[in-house]
Amino acid sequence: MTGPAAGAPFLDVSRSATGRRWVDRLPEGALRQVRGVAEQFELPEIVARILLARGVGSEDAGIFLEPKLRDLMPDPRTLTDAENAAARIADAVRASERVGIFGDYDVDGATSSALLARFLMSLGVTADIHIPDRIFEGYGPNEAAFERFQAQGCSLVVTVDCGTASHDTIAAARAKGLDVVVIDHHQTGETLPGANALVNPNRQDDISGQGHLCAVGVVFLVLVETLRQLRERGRADLPNLLSWLDLVALGTVADVVPLTGLNRAYVSQGLKIMHRRENAGLRALCDVARLRDAPTPYHLGFLIGPRINAGGRIGDAALGARLLTSDDPAEAATIAAQLDRLNAERQALEQEALAEAMAEAEAADQNGASVVVVASDTWHPGIVGLIASRLKERFRKPAIAVSFASGEQGSGSARSVSGVDIGAAVRAAVDEGFLLKGGGHAMAAGMTVTRSRLDAFSENIGSKLAEAVAAASLRDELRIDGAVTAAAASKDLVRDIDRAGPFGAGHPEPVLALPAHRVTYCETTEQGHVRLGLSGPDETKIQGIAFRAADTPLGEFLASKRGQNIHAAGSLRINRWGGSETVQLQLRDAADPAKN
């Protein structure tokens, strides 16, 4: 692999098909360390280069390459209120109390709910899970659900992946005699609700340094502390928490939190557990998704996660949690098939809505908007997050999609780009009266807005984020990890690169450039992907695919270059189809060698 001269665009690409400048991900000063790290840890130089480009040097490469819980797990008591939360859960176990679990309707909420429920049920505790309906109940705890918990005999309710902002609901529950423990990870304000305990590494008085965890990762830590307290109280028949790391891995990848620190151990070890196929629900989901190979973060994020999310988006929000807690293969197969059908319906709804949203967004973008805001009376509220995500990818700026299908109050979702904190902006808009409700984190947020205030909100958030968006646009670069030819893009190379994984948010998948490769064919699939063939200088060929690139600048560029040379950039994967394995390039970008 090679790199450009310091400061120069990679392969001299100053403007690619998607409008980006290509740069070497490896800092100039780290280049001389590559050989030393490769020799010290017996790595191919490409892997050493990938590690150093992500700030992993010789002092921590060993732990990074072999992430283990025992090396990366903090003392759970370093999380504010974790000891109190665990004590209350341990009390419930000792007294065989009935426990209610209120979770969010996404994958993090489903996995958090399932993990806690499996833990409690393994200790003989009855656990009732409630996942709210996205449309009729909305996000977060509500009094009606808490009243049902109490009517069922629950004396303790644990909210997971929600609850940090639910002041009134929790106050009402406490007034009626319910104990409430909150385990969450979303950003918080200065004032917290009056729960018995509130564990959130992002609360302002938490100094644990674990703010990168998603909710299921925090739940796992609280349960580690609960086990410790139960052991100290003399309880012997305790479950093996490690056997449920598959749930933690799934929630961590699907919630797109950084795969750094403890999250790397969660995912690395959890993928191994998932490969054993011991969880009936996950096994059934893998079967309907036709996943037979060892699971990877890609599979969790793009095959398994979306199917669980489909229930919360357009069907029964409780299906995911019910599937992940089931030990009945027949029941699991039935639920998995239902989620698979819902996911197909979701894809169809999304495709239709996205065409409308893109047309509206094109006009807004041409007017110089710093935040793309689109809305419709016909979009299903469950897919607005997906629309916002696609718009963010297309325009590389924050995007918000709002559905007014229910009338005058719209349900909206926001997605942001690196360096632009959309969650803080949404919370500020709530405080300033532009939104009825809203919250989230730096990269994603949800909101409720009235039709009459949508334009004012759009103007407010666009103005508020204009400077940050402009700064992010100046940093709009594609970072390249090195250059290879089709002949060098072997299965062994892919396996070498995988040694630096798992890759995901915060630890991006390596991007390699293939310089001056000829486009031998280019075609668009029914799903809107672009398939192409590339031929290297020695006529060695490699297949490529650009997902969702049809009718985008990248797709149009590729179609115009049939028979010509291009610089291609993307990630290498092993494609298994029909019993054979081939290396495939998943394109992120391309450029014209003659114009750079």
CATH label, 10-25+481-595, candidates 2.40.50.460, 3.30.930.10, 3.40.50.740, 3.30.300.20: 2.40.50.460
Confidence of residue 596 (pLDDT cuts 50, 70, 90): low
The candidate with the shortest Cα–Cα distance to 197, out of 82, 325, 26, is 82
Give, in order, the Cα–Cα distances in Å from 591 to each of 44, 528, 547, 595: 28, 21, 17, 8
Residue 569: strand, helix, or coil: strand
pLDDT digits (tens, 9 = 90+) for 400-426: 999 999 889 999 999 999 889 999 999
* Whether pTM exceeds 0.75: yes
> How many CB atoms are closer than 10 A to CB 355?
10
Q: CA 549 to CA 123: how far, in whole Å?
A: 50
Convert the pLDDT of each residue in 177-236 to its tens digit: 999 999 999 988 889 999 999 999 999 999 999 999 999 999 999 999 999 999 999 999
Q: What does the pLDDT average to over 306-326?
A: 93
Domain with CATH 3.90.1640.30 in the chain: 72-340
pLDDT band at 7 (very low <50, low <70, confident <90, very high): low
pLDDT at 524: 96
Q: What are phi and psi of 576, to 5 degrees?
A: -105, 120
CATH 3.10.310.30 in the chain is located at 368-476
- In the predicted model, what is the mean pLDDT of residues 273-283? 97
According to the CATH classification, is domain 72-340 in 2.40.100.10?
Answer: no
Range(s) for CATH 2.40.50.460 in the chain?
10-25+481-595
Spatial distance between the Cα atoms of 484 and 492, rounded to a whole number of angstroms: 13
Multiple choice CATH, 368-476, 3.20.20.70, 3.10.310.30, 1.10.3720.10, 1.20.1090.10: 3.10.310.30
**What tens digit of pLDDT does each residue of 356-377 get?**
999 999 887 767 889 999 999 9
